[in-house]
Chain A
Amino acid sequence: MANITLVQAINLALIQEMERNDSIVLLGEDIGVNGGVFRVTEGLQKRFGGARVFDTPLAESGIIGLSIGMAMGGLHPVPEIQFEGFLGPAYDQICSHAARMRSRTRGAFTVPMTIRIPVGGGIHAPELHSDSPEAIYAHTPGLKVVMPSSPYDAKGLLTSCLREPDPVLFFEPKRIYRAIREEVPEDEYTLPLGVARTVCEGSDLTIVSWGASVVQCMQAIEKSEQSIELIDLRTIYPFDMDAVATSVKKTGRCVVVHEAPLTCGFGSEIAARIMERCFLELEAPVQRVAGYDTTMPYYKMELDYLPDSYRVQRAIEDCLAY
């Protein structure tokens, strides 16, 4: 066991899987000599050589398009998109090709690929460096979408992604890249995609969240006197609705928390599914605490935008008082 950060956990997972599987190749902007702008790939080019860890021209569509071809050719590329705000140019390659290749060729070609993407706000970054676009990709059939909230989960989930036969977007919440440390086994282990984690058990209310917001939820729960259950979705698609429904049937109340904008955020899907599966057990409408339907503000106002423990607490109180 080592007490490490999320950045170190991802680095460790990459090392271990690259040693295990020589099909894994890393590419992206500044990931080689520089080790990535967040240092997630630090030391990997030196360790595995320039053919397995290489810098590309600054073109996100090119990075993903090249990776799709590499995956069709039998490798498991791991492209890094430097910030989630730079996904835009790659949207066509991800959604029009990576997501559809298996379906449109009836399995003759597949795209095993793990796209790593730092995501979310809270680090005083410039504009287009702080968004949370996970719902866009969860809405695109053919993709899997993963977002860990802790070093332990990051290592286990990424290891699973690197063994996936289909394209995955692995979102890394940059706000907690170094903010939390955790004991993480140095031996390899996997956490299955599509399985949520019950962070803490409770009987009065269920919170469903993912990514960096899980930390805000834990702070809110610590301040609350009620018995609150927290479910970290971990995988946005496929998502563990069984875990959510089981919990909500027990507590009768649910608050969903995410950084992404409210409208058509993934919380909308969770709320609709709870309606379908838990209608008779519900004691109150599902509450959502989310980013606003505004452009992600520049950093002076980003903490006003991001759900914090105070807003989560207020939603808990509203939901319980209903």
Chain B
Amino acid sequence: MPITTVFTAEIKKISILDEHANFDEKLGDGLIPNEDLLKLYEAMVACRHLDEVAFRLQRSGRMGTYPQNMGQEATSLGAAYVLRKDDWMVTCYRENCGLFWRGVPMEAILLHWMGDERGNAMPKPHWVTPIYVPLGTQMLHAAGLTLAAKYRGIDRIACTFFGDGAASEGDFHEACNFASNLEIPVVFVCQNNFWAISTPSKINSAAPTFAQRGISYGMPCVQVDGNDIFATVYAMKQAMEYTRKHGKPYFIEMVTYRLADHTTADDAKRYREDAEVESWRRKDPIIRLNAHLKNLRIWDDDKEVALKEKVALDIAAAVARAENITPPERTDAFDNMYAETPADLALQRDTRHTHSLGQDPSQLPIEAQERAAQMDAAAFAAHAAH
């Protein structure tokens, strides 16, 4: 027997509530109580509305570049719903719905995209890390955070999100390899939304699934319909049970679609067909859950109107909080570099408007000191007016 089979594998796909609102009762019954289902629906509607508001804020010059989440709400929400409160959620930047579910205030996300670092000062009790902008680096941090808990004997896992594009980064592979070999319980969630800006997922993988990447690292892997909240919850429950029991990682590919442009700075019409986008609009996670709730007779159009009114008010309040935050201190950038600001850096901070950086302000003539103070005030006023 010179040739033997040493390994075979297969990838399962989970779908419970399909795009026509057909519901697989065998898998889905009892998975999510109706009461929770309503809350999950409301969370998705709120997240979608925030997306629309954020888009308008950007277009009217009130916010910088913003990546819309539209169409992908059920992915991170399913995971967040299943995770324990003190499990880590380590995300990229298209997981707003899951972050809000964990209690991250909407204004934190708005502030981040409004160019204010204070949006990243997420309160510890949410057990989330700040938004990560460079692709694929955060999965290693998820592994480290979980390893720190393991070292202390704390029962805590992490769930980390990344896209089909980030799955090409070296750090993705290193994180999978480290988590497997060092036995760290991390759930890796690949949001395959088919587009990394203009790069189609086939350029990021020639294989039929992203899920199978987990196989080479010895992980259980599964593919789910990422626009199906039942499927994402189902897969996450399995993943959580496995990681907790075995102290090892798990891989989920959530197949979804980026209905909007990559960011407000992108124009997806340049590289993808309208027909493709339209076909995915019909697979929208909110539309099918709405239909399912109506089938269950726990939702109707009146409730929908009331929900949208409430959501609009909540989000308007969040926008107001984000926009009315006190201006950042101009010394914040200096004072947050180190626990203790080095003397040299403190001098740069205190003399930033003198002509010779580093000059001791007490050595400046009084007029120059006053001029520097005025420049501070003028620069800030100009910034605020802009």
Contacts and interface: CB of A to CB of B under 8 A. Distances in A.
A241 interface: yes
A107 B134 CA distance: 20
A89 B171 CA distance: 10
B165 to A, nearest CB: 16
Contact of B140 (A74, A93, A144, A238): A93
B48 to A, nearest CB: 27
Contacts of A142: 337-338
B297 interface: no
A104 B141 CA distance: 15
Interface in A36-63: 51, 54, 56-57, 59, 61-62
Contacts of B345: 238
Interface in A86-126: 89, 92-93, 96-97, 102-110
Contacts of B105: none
A102 B337 CA distance: 6
Interface stretch (A64-72, A223-231, A286-294): A64-72
Nearest to B343: A238
A62 B129 contact: no
Contacts of A128: none
B57 to A, nearest CB: 21
Interface residues of A, number: 46
A166 interface: yes
A25 interface: yes
A71 B338 contact: no
A105 B147 contact: no
Contacts of B343: 194, 238
Nearest to A235: B342
B121 interface: yes
A284 to B, nearest CB: 23
B149 interface: yes
Interface stretch (B173-181, B252-260, B271-279, B284-292): B173-181
Given A62-B171, A62-B174, A54 B339 contact: no
B336 A54 contact: no
Interface secondary structure of B, over-half rule: helix
Nearest to B147: A70
Given A62-B174, A65-B171, A92 B145 contact: no
A104 B130 contact: yes
Looking at A67, A70, A89, the one whose CB has the most chain B CB atoms below 10 A away is: A70
Contact of B344 (A25, A67, A107, A238): A238
Interface residues of B, number: 44
A59 B177 contact: yes
Nearest to B123: A108
Contacts of A61: 140, 170-171, 174
Contacts of A102: 336-339
Interface string B339-360: 1001111000000000010100
Contacts of A107: 121, 336
Nearest to A110: B339
A262 interface: no
Looking at B145, B174, B177, the one whose CB has the most chain A CB atoms below 10 A away is: B174
Contacts of B336: 102-103, 106-107
Interface in B152-191: 152, 170-171, 174-175, 177-178, 181-182
Given A65-B144, A66-B140, A106-B332, 10 more contacts: A51-B151, A62-B178, A65-B140, A68-B144, A69-B140, A69-B143, A77-B144, A96-B134, A102-B337, A237-B342
Interface of A: 25, 51, 54, 56-57, 59, 61-62, 65-75, 77, 89, 92-93, 96-97, 102-110, 141-142, 144, 165-166, 194, 237-239, 241, 273, 276
20 contacts: A54-B182, A59-B177, A62-B178, A65-B140, A65-B144, A70-B148, A72-B129, A72-B145, A93-B171, A96-B137, A97-B141, A102-B338, A105-B117, A106-B336, A108-B120, A108-B121, A108-B130, A109-B130, A110-B339, A194-B342
